[in-house]
């Protein structure tokens, strides 16, 4: 219990330090590949979000998913067809341990959708470490994490995705 607290404080401190030095990567010419980072504690309809994104012309094979869960057993993780991570997958030095997470974060997506509307250090670390060219998220999460934010609730995924793609068309990157 005490170790979890210390680990959490260290993680928040490292995120704050990295955010002070963070600079956006720049805008892609066109959005083809999408990374989707989700918090399963608040929103479990990942299939619906993926289907909504594919409805706007992004191919499903070009969408990668990473889900953050509070707890996951090894048996449950093996049965899932998408990568999942928990607090156990982050070292005390705020480094990612699991290879699946490292791969997701190091992939240079054209766009990363940080689909969470509460500031959780595990999710913020993945967004911060991501090599995505263009990062979008919710307005009630730290503004320095994302290049573009939309003020909408996570449960209103259809409206959020519609608004996102409306702005992507205006920016002429889709």
CATH of the domain at 136: 3.40.50
Q: Are 135 and 144 in contact (CB under 8 A)?
A: no
- Total tally of structural domains belonging to the chain: 1
Q: Tens of pLDDT along the chain (174 residues)?
A: 556 666 666 666 766 766 666 666 677 778 999 999 998 877 777 888 999 999 999 999 999 999 988 888 878 877 788 888 888 888 877 788 888 899 999 999 999 999 998 888 889 989 999 999 999 999 998 888 898 999 988 888 999 999 999 999 998 887
Domain boundaries, position 123: 2-170
State the pLDDT at residue 119. 87
Q: Spell out the residues 6+ positions from residue 74 whose beta carbon is closer than 8 angstroms to its own.
A: none
Please spell the DSSP secondary structure of 17-54, one letter per residue.
HHHHH-------SS---EEEEEETTT---HHHHHHHHH
Q: Are 129 and 105 in contact (CB under 8 A)?
A: yes
pTM of the full structure: 0.86
Give which of 121, 122, 129 is closest to 35, Cα–Cα.
Answer: 129
> Residue 114 pairs with which residues in a beta bridge?
37
């Amino acid at each position: 219990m005490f170790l979890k607290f210390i680990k959490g404080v260290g993680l928040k401190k490292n995120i704050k330090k990295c955010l002070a030095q963070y600079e956006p990567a720049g805008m892609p010419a066109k959005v083809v590949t999408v990374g989707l980072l989700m918090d399963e504690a608040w929103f479990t309809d990942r299939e619906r979000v993926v289907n909504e994104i594919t409805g706007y012309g992004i191919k499903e094979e070009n969408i990668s998913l990473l889900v953050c869960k509070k707890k996951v057993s090894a048996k449950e993780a093996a049965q899932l067809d998408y990568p999942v991570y928990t607090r156990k997958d982050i070292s005390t030095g705020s480094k990612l341990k699991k290879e699946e997470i490292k791969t997701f974060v190091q992939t240079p997506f054209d766009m990363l959708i940080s689909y969470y509307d509460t500031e959780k250090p595990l999710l913020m670390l993945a967004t911060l470490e991501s090599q995505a060219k263009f990062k979008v998220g919710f307005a009630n999460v730290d503004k320095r994490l994302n290049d573009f934010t939309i003020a909408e609730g996570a449960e209103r995924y259809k409206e959020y995705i519609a608004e996102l793609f409306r702005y992507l068309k205006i920016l002429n990157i889709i």
